[in-house]
Every structure is written in structure tokens, then in C-alpha cells.
Chain A
């Protein structure tokens, strides 16, 4: 569905050129749900904007759903759905009107548009809101409306840019279910996110982008396996003694952390050994590797810190 080669975008700013995306190759097969993961400013949205004809690449080429991005942008537009980062419905519009016009922009007749709108209102739990002004909708409702608008012409390929940003946990979960349902219906989905849990929960396959380049690729499990071992965190007044027993251990005050394979099974023996040499422990934690750890090993930076800083 997507085949991009050497796609790049350079912005000219007052302080000189900025390479937002430095030549990425992307392949997405039909029916896949691919997550595009990276910190803010990594080039996710810029890549997505290029793939959806919103932004002209400065180098590279791509075919999207069989249409050439550079020579046939209109063909690409007819065949893709796009749900941007920000809300795409006009605040002075009514829900059903916005949907109907969107359907008609894709060439549907008024009759077909109305049928389709009724269908999507039901699918995205928006019934009863037809006559409501967009401005009165909750964040979750607006987001579902956005996705419904991206699906009115039954695209086989849907792009979602940070779909769950600014949603409360319950609406997020609900949105995820809808996205999974799209995949179950055979829609190819390409979504960007800087949330690890979202990428982990939704994606068949992940592309990790940092500083405009793709730094890793694989299923969430594959990527996690690349991180060697589980993270063990011990709280102890003798942190430096413990640290000397393990490779690459990190001491932070009265806390020492290190990685060991199969941490859950290794832990009982390990604790006994420490007890035998007289180490006093006041807390023990074992963490399975997360995508954050993956990101950390790939880029040397934590995605979580980035997300918090943003």
C-alpha cells in the first residue's frame, strides 16, 4: 500500500536549512497496522504530511495505494483517508453537515452521502449528535467525528496523526477499539504516535524514527527482545556493593538497577546470594522491557522524558 524511497524534506529557516526528514524508506503491506513512533520533532508528522500530499518532498519518491505521490497527487487523495493531529471539523458546523459535505467532496451523490453518513454515525457511536454543533462535542466525540470524516469514502488506507492526543484514558481506549476494528475490516492503517502504550497495543509493526531517520523496525515484541533482559531495580543502603556484582549496573542514591535475562526466574536465587553476603534490601522491582527501553537502546534517549518535556 505504501512504498516510499529516500523521502526527505528540508525546511529553510532563518537560521539555515533544517532536515526534518532525512531520506526514509517505508513499506507497508495491505491490511497492516503500522505504528510510526518517535519523540516530538522526530519527523513523524512531516513524513505523514508528505505521504498524504500536504507537503512536497524535497527528495525521494513514493507510491501510495498504487498512485505516484509526485505525479498523481489527486489519485493519492482519492484513495486515502487522513485524520490530522488537530480537529478537522468546523466549529460553526453541525455534525451531520460536516460529514455530508466531506462525503460529497469525495464525489458521492447527496443520496449516497446521506446513507454513508448514517452508517458512519452508527459505527463511531455518534448517533443522536447529527444536529449538534461541533463546538458542543466532547474531545472524544470530536476525535471520533474526525475519524469518521476520514472514512466516508471507504479508503483502503487510512493515515492517523497522533490520534489519541489530548483524550482522557477512557476515550483513548474507546478510540483504540475503533482503530482495531478498522484493521479487522481490512483497512490498512498507518498511525503516528509518541505514546508507547498506544504503539504497543495497536501496531502489528513499528517504525521508530528519530532525528528524521528511521532507527528501528519490527513488531513490538521483536523490538522488545532486542533489549537484553529485564530491568531489576533494588533499593539498598549498600548500592555500590550490589552494583559491583552486575554488569552495567546504575546506582542512583540508595537504588541500583541492572538488566538480567529472565529476571522473574532469576530473582529468587539472586536475592538469596545477596542475603548471603550480608546485603540489606528494602525494595525489589522487576520490569519487563518496554518500548521506552527499546527507544532508549536505539537512540540513547528516553521517549518518556521527551513526552514529559513536551
Chain B
């Protein structure tokens, strides 16, 4: 199982390492948020804004991961792999592993870039912050691949994504505090597990509690990985 996972991981990682330009482009969007949106929050905003930005990166970075599976489903790649004795779980976990590793690298780069603007963090805080981002990436990545395997078509997958990601992001308080809004909107955001993960990520770099965020992320990982593994184990998937 471990060997299989490692092999699948290496197989999908290799093209990325051969063409690392894509990784650099991957941080263009968060860099733009950092440079063109962050300053709107004032000098004291960085400690608050950067953790949220990291969660947003985890959401966008891994939610779109399923797109890389679609050509392999449409051509015979997935089928070819499924006839080998390779573990079905490894086919999922190896891929998610690649996305999470890239996510962690990109998040680290963004944190370092943010420091130029005035973001402050100790190595321990950064490590903890990256860990939480990685867990969220595992959960969302697993679900993304499972959905891609089910819907099989780009345009369907794209509409599923935008219909789910946008409300998740808007209700997570990444860009502005949810408490600024009316009561109903605030309570609505409390139903969004991602909002709690954002709070937890912020509490790493600011005073606050991580508790609800940790519960949320644990639940997301459990549900996400279970759903992903079940989908990959199904015969016709």
C-alpha cells in the first residue's frame, strides 16, 4: 500500500517537477490578493488576512485538482492502472499527496512573501499553519478527485466546482470579517466548516481558539477521504 502510494505520487509529481513553471503560476493569484487587496486592510490587517488567504489557497488549489484526473479517465490511463495490482486507495492518495505537497510549498512561499509586507510569524507558527492547510487540502482534494471520477466531463465538473466553492469562500470570512455583516449572514457562516478552519488558522498567528477549527478539519478529512476512497474502490468508477 505504502509503496503503491509512493509510486502513484512519483508518477504524478514527475511531470510537475519537469515543468515547475506551473507551480509558480499557481501562486500568482494569492500574490495578487496579497499585493492588491491586503493593503486595503491597513497595516494591522496582515496578521488577520494572511491566514485566511492560506485557507483560500487550500480551497482553490485542491478543489481544482480533479481536473488533472479527467484526461486520464477519458483516455485509457485510469483503466490501465486499474488492471494492474496497484492498490485502489493508492491511486487516490498518491494523487492527493502531490497536490498537498504543492500546496504546502506554495503556502510557504506566500507566507514568506507576506513577511515583506509586514506579516509576522515564528517558525513554529508557520509549521502549525502549514499543517492545518495540508489537512484541509487532503479533505478537499479527495472529494475533488471523487467528484471528477463520477462526473467525467469538464463542463459538468467546472459548474459543480463554482457552485460549491464560491459560497464556501464567501461564507468563510476570508476577505472580510463575517461579524461585520448582519446577524443572519454571520450565523449562516457558522454553518460553514471552512469558516471555523479560517478561525483556527487565524488563531495560530493571533490570540484565539483553535478548537472548533480542529473539529471541523478533522470531520472534513474523515468525510472527504472516506468518500474519496469509496468512490475509487467502486468498480465502474
Q: Tell me how far the C-beta of A23 lies from the nearest C-beta in chain B, rounded to whole angstroms.
A: 20
Scan residues 105-156 of chain A and give those whose CB is less than 8 A from a CB of chain B: 105-107, 146, 149
Q: Tell me how far the C-beta of A169 lies from the nearest C-beta in chain B, rounded to whole angstroms.
A: 23
Scan residues 222-237 of chain B and give those whose CB is less than 8 A from a CB of chain A: 235-236
Q: Please determine whether A86 and B75 come into contact, CB atoms closer than 8 angstroms.
A: yes
Contact of A107 among B14, B79, B85 (CB under 8 A): B85
Q: Is the interface of A mostly helix, strand, loop or mixed?
A: loop
Q: Which residues of B contact A78 (CB under 8 A)?
A: 85
- Number of A interface residues at 8 Å Cβ cutoff, please give it: 30
- The complex places the Cα of A201 from the Cα of B7 at a distance, in Å, of 39
Residues A56 and B235 in contact in the complex (CB < 8 Å), given A84-B76, A88-B77, A101-B10: yes
Contact of B11 among A55, A82, A93 (CB under 8 A): A93
Q: Tell me how far the C-beta of B184 lies from the nearest C-beta in chain A, rounded to whole angstroms.
A: 40
Q: Please determine whether B11 and A54 come into contact, CB atoms closer than 8 angstroms.
A: no
Q: Please determine whether A97 and B80 come into contact, CB atoms closer than 8 angstroms.
A: no
Q: Which residues of A contact B74 (CB under 8 A)?
A: 86
Q: Does B82 contact A (CB under 8 A)?
A: yes
- The complex places the Cα of A186 from the Cα of B170 at a distance, in Å, of 63
Q: Please determine whether A88 and B236 come into contact, CB atoms closer than 8 angstroms.
A: no
Q: Which residues of B contact A146 (CB under 8 A)?
A: 76, 80
Q: Does A104 contact B (CB under 8 A)?
A: yes
Q: Which residues of B contact A257 (CB under 8 A)?
A: none
- The complex places the Cα of A179 from the Cα of B158 at a distance, in Å, of 41
Residues A77 and B85 in contact in the complex (CB < 8 Å), given A86-B76, A87-B75, A88-B76: yes
For A77, A101, A104, A105, the residue with the greatest tally of chain B CB atoms inside 10 Å of its CB is A105
Q: Does A91 contact B (CB under 8 A)?
A: yes
9 tightest Cβ-Cβ pairs between the two chains A and B: A88-B80, A86-B76, A84-B76, A88-B76, A82-B83, A105-B84, A92-B15, A105-B86, A77-B85
Interface, chain B (partner A; CB < 8 A): 4, 7, 10-11, 14-15, 18, 71-72, 74-77, 79-86, 235-236
Interface, chain A (partner B; CB < 8 A): 52-56, 74, 77-78, 80, 82, 84-94, 97, 101-102, 104-107, 146, 149
